[in-house]
Structure 1
Amino acid sequence: MLGERIKKLRKQKKLTLEALAGNQLTKGMLSLIENNKAQPSMESLSYIAQQLEVEVSDLLEVVSSEELRSILEKAEKLYNTEFEKSKDKHKQLIELIEPFAENLTQGYEAARILEIYSYSLFHEKKQRWEALSERAAKMFDQMNISANRSSIAIFRTINKFIEHDYSSALEIFLTERRNIELNHAYIDPLTKLDLDYHEAVLFYAVGDSEAATRIMENALEFSKKKKIFYRVDELYRLAAAQGMMSGNNDKKRFYLEKLKQYAEFADNLSSLHFYQLLNIMTLTSEQREYQKALEEIDQLLSDPKTLEFYGPWFNLEKSKALYYLGSYEEALLLLDKMVLPDVHHPFDLSIFYVADTYRALCHVELGNRNEAVAAIKKAVSNFHPLPETPFKVFTLDTSEKISG
C-alpha cells in the first residue's frame, strides 16, 4: 500500500512525521496518508517524494528502484557464492526474491532478479521456473540486452544437455538463437562467442563434426579479428579433442600447440593440464610409451592442484599404462576406485566409459571370466547412445573378442 511505502521510506531515511511534513503538509494529514486513511493529491505526492529524495514512481510502485538495487546486490552475491560454501543458496535466493517476484515488471534490475529466481527454482525442482524465465527473457528482449538473454537461452539448452538428450538440446538452442538474432539489433562480441562456442559443442555432441568444425573455426577467426581472447581456450580444447576423436593427428597437434601457447600466455593452469592430458593420451594410445606416460602422470599427480579437477582423468590414463605394462591387479585397483566426474559431453563420457573396457581386459588377464563379461557389457551399454569415437570402436572390438 502507498501509505506503508511512505512510512517505510521515511523510517529508512530516519525522518520524523514533522520533518517529512515540512511546511506543505500537516503532521496529522501525513499520519492519515501513512495509515492509508487518506489519499494524497498528485501535488502532495510529488512533495513527499521530493522530501524522501525518491521518484514519484518509486512511491507508486510496490518495489522501489532503491529496494530493487538492494535485492539484486544481495541476490548476485549469494548466487555467485560457491556451492560448497553455501549448499542451500538456491533456497535462500527463493526466500529473498519470492515476496517481490510478482511485482517485478520492468527495468534491468527486475529482469536480472527474475533470471536468478528462475535458475534457483529450477535447482530446487519448482515447476514455475520456466514461466519466470520467459518473463525475464521478454524483458531483456525489450531492453535489447543480448548477454542476459543469451544466458537464459544457454541455461534452457543445458537442462536437456545434462540429461544427455543432445538432439533436443541442439533443437532448443537453434530456436533460441534464431529468436535472439531476430529480436536484438546488436549482439556484443562476447555474447556472439558464447553462442558460437555452445553451438559447436552441441553439433559435436550429435555427431555433426562438419557443422561443428565450421562454427568453431569461424569463432576462432572472429576472436582473432576482434582481438578478443574470451572462450579461446575452450575453443582450442574443443578443436584438439575433436582432432583426437576424429583421428586427425595434424589438427590435434596444431590446436594443442595453440592451447599451450595460450596457457603459458594467460598463466592458465587448467588449460595447461588439458594440454598435458592429451599429450599423455597420445603416449598411451598412439605411441605406446607406457613407462614414459606413467612417469609423467606420477609427477603431475604429485601436485595437489592437478587433483582439483583433472585427478580422475590422469588416474584413468595411469590405469591404462599399468594394464599395458602387465600390472593388471594394480590397474584394476585404480579402475575400481574410479568415480565419474561431473561431465556430460559425449567426448568426455567416451573417455571415462572406456574405463569399464579396461576393467574387462584386466579381468580377462586375471582369469575372471564372469567379471570380464559383466564389465564389457556395461561399457557397451554406456556407449550405445553416443556417437562413434575411437573409444567406442575400441570397446565394441573388445566386446567381440571377449564374447568370442
Structure 2
Amino acid sequence: MSTIGERIRKLRKQQKVTLEALAGTGLTKGMLSLIENNKANPSIESLNYIADRLHVDVTELLEEISGNELREVLEKAELLFNTKYDELTTEYEQLIDLVKPYVPKLTQGYEAARLLEMYSRCLSFTKQMGSETLLNRAATIYEQMNLTAKRGDIGTFLAGIKFNNHEYQEALNILLAERAELEVNPLWIDPLSRLDYDYLESVLYFAVGKYEDAIRVMENAIEYSNKNKTFYRIDNLYRLAAAHAMMTEDEKKKDYYLQKLHSYSEFAEDKDAKVFIYFAEIHYLSSYKKMYQEANHLYNTVFTKDMVNKLFTPFFLLEKGKILYGLNQFTAAIEKLKVVVIPEILHHPIDLSIFYEKDAYIALCYLALNQKEKALDYAKIALDNINEMPDTPYKKFIEETYEKVKRD
C-alpha cells in the first residue's frame, strides 16, 4: 500500500505530467518533489490543488488504497485466479502474497469484495486457515451492493469448503441454509445462480446417499435448463445423470444422457465433455459389463495424447489397469494400477469410490498370482478406504473382493 506522496507521483507519471507542470503556480517544483518523496506533508489546500491538477477527487490521494491501485491489484489477481487447472503451478500462492497486504483495508466496493473472495478461495485451495471469515465479509459487501448472484456464489463455495474436507452432510446443510436465505430475496432470480445451486444440491444429495432427492433435483434442473434455453451447467448435469444411470445399470438412460452430452459437446466445442463420454463408455464396459476385450478395443481406439491432462489421465490409467486384470495380464495390471494417483481436486465420495477400487483390483491380481498375503493387504486397504462411503456398486465390489480374498 502506498503513501500520499507515492500516489501523487504514480498518478503524475501515469498522466505523463512533469513535476514543473503539476506544480504550476500554486506550488514550487521543489516542494512538490519533497511531497512525492514523503519528506514534506501537504496541507489540505495543497492536496486539493494537486488533485484538481491531476483531474481526480482528493479522496484518491487521501485513501490509503486508491481506487486505481485497487483496480490494478484486481486485474493482476484475476489473471492468477483464472489460470487453467492443467497450467497451475504457484498461482494461488502468488495471489495470496499479492492481496494479503490489502486485506485489512478491503471494506467496501466491488473491487474489495472480489479481492476478498478470490483471496479466501485461494486460502481454501491451499489448505490455509481463515477463508470462511473473509468469505462472509465479501458476502456482506456484495449484499450491500445488491449483487445477489455474487452473494450466491459465496454460498456455494462455503458449502464447497466442507465438501472438500469430506464433511458432506455439513456441506449439504450449509447449502440448503444459504439457498433458503437467498430465496426470500425477491432480487434473487438469476437462472445461472439457480442452476449452480441445483447442481451442487444434487451432487451433495448423491454424496450423502440420498439418491431419490439427488435425482429429483437433478431432473428438475435439466428440465429448467432446457425449458429456459439456459445451457449453463447442462454438461455437468448430463454427466451426473449418466453416472447415476451406470450405477443403476440402466443402459437406456446411460445412452440417452451420453448422447445428450455428445450433442452439447458438438454445439459448444467442449473437449472435456467428449473425453468424459469416452471414459464413461470404457468404464461401463469394464466395471459393469465385465466386457474387457471390448473395453480394451475402445480404449485403444479413442485414447490419444490430446486427452492427457491432470484430471482425466488417472481415470484412464485406472481403466487400463482394470482391463489388463480382466485380460489375465496380472503383472502388467499391477504395474499400471500402482501408478494411479487420485486427482487432488476430486472429493466426491462416488469419484473416490471409483479410485478406491484400484487396491481391490491389485488384490485380485495378487490372488491370481498366488500371493495371498499381498492380496489381503491390498483388499484391506480398499475396504478401509470405502468404509465411510455411501452404498454404491463400487463399495459392494470392494466388500465382495475382501471376502473373496479372505476366503480363497
Same fold (TM over 0.5): yes
> How far apart are the structure 1 equivalents of 2:357 and 2:167?
21
1:3-402 equivalences in 2 (<5 Å) = 5-6=7-8, 8-16=10-18, 18-22=20-24, 25-27=26-28, 31=32, 37=41, 39-41=43-45, 47-82=49-84, 87-182=89-184, 185-301=187-303, 303-308=304-309, 309-342=311-344, 343-402=346-405
Q: How many residues align?
A: 400
The alignment partner of 2:44 has SS state of: coil
Deviation of 1:229 after TM superposition, in Å, equals 1.6
> How far apart are the structure 1 equivalents of 2:319 and 2:90?
36
Deviation of 1:4 after TM superposition, in Å, equals 5.8
Gap runs ≥5 in structure 1: none
> How far apart are the structure 2 equivalents of 1:266 and 1:98?
38
Q: Is the 8 A contact 1:205 1:387 kept in 2?
A: yes
Deviation of 1:234 after TM superposition, in Å, equals 0.8
Letter in 2 for 1:307: V
- Cα 1:324–1:56 change in 2 (3 A) is same
Letter in 2 for 1:50: D
> How far apart are the structure 1 equivalents of 2:368 and 2:94?
53
Letter in 2 for 1:297: Y
Deviation of 1:119 after TM superposition, in Å, equals 2.6
Question: Pairwise CA RMSD of aligned residues?
Answer: 2.7
- Cα 1:17–1:386 change in 2 (3 A) is same
- Comparing 122-131 and 257-266, the one that deviates more: 122-131
- Cα 1:50–1:261 change in 2 (3 A) is same
- Comparing 275-284 and 220-229, the one that deviates more: 275-284
- Cα 1:279–1:9 change in 2 (3 A) is closer
- Comparing 219-228 and 85-94, the one that deviates more: 85-94
- Cα 1:18–1:392 change in 2 (3 A) is same
- Comparing 218-227 and 127-136, the one that deviates more: 127-136
Letter in 2 for 1:240: A
Deviation of 1:94 after TM superposition, in Å, equals 3.0
- Comparing 147-156 and 390-399, the one that deviates more: 147-156
> How far apart are the structure 1 equivalents of 2:160 and 2:30?
56
Deviation of 1:22 after TM superposition, in Å, equals 4.2
Deviation of 1:86 after TM superposition, in Å, equals 6.0
Q: Is the 8 A contact 2:182 2:188 kept in 1?
A: no
Percent identity between matched residues is 46
Deviation of 1:29 after TM superposition, in Å, equals 11
Deviation of 1:297 after TM superposition, in Å, equals 1.0
- Cα 1:89–1:274 change in 2 (3 A) is closer
> How far apart are the structure 1 equivalents of 2:166 and 2:318?
22
- Cα 1:289–1:70 change in 2 (3 A) is same
> How far apart are the structure 2 equivalents of 1:362 and 1:322?
10
- Comparing 8-17 and 259-268, the one that deviates more: 8-17
Q: Is the 8 A contact 1:173 1:199 kept in 2?
A: yes
Deviation of 1:378 after TM superposition, in Å, equals 1.1
- Cα 1:129–1:291 change in 2 (3 A) is closer
Letter in 1 for 2:28: K
Letter in 2 for 1:157: A
- Cα 1:18–1:321 change in 2 (3 A) is closer
Q: Is the 8 A contact 2:110 2:142 kept in 1?
A: yes
Letter in 1 for 2:11: L
The alignment partner of 1:250 has SS state of: helix
Q: Is the 8 A contact 1:312 1:339 kept in 2?
A: yes
- Cα 1:183–1:137 change in 2 (3 A) is farther
- Cα 1:327–1:385 change in 2 (3 A) is same
- Cα 1:344–1:48 change in 2 (3 A) is same
- Cα 1:61–1:326 change in 2 (3 A) is same
> How far apart are the structure 2 equivalents of 1:15 and 1:269?
50
Scaled by the length of structure 2, what TM-score is found?
Answer: 0.88
> How far apart are the structure 1 equivalents of 2:385 and 2:126?
28
- Comparing 191-200 and 7-16, the one that deviates more: 7-16
Gap runs ≥5 in structure 2: none
Q: Is the 8 A contact 1:203 1:209 kept in 2?
A: yes
Q: Is the 8 A contact 2:245 2:254 kept in 1?
A: yes
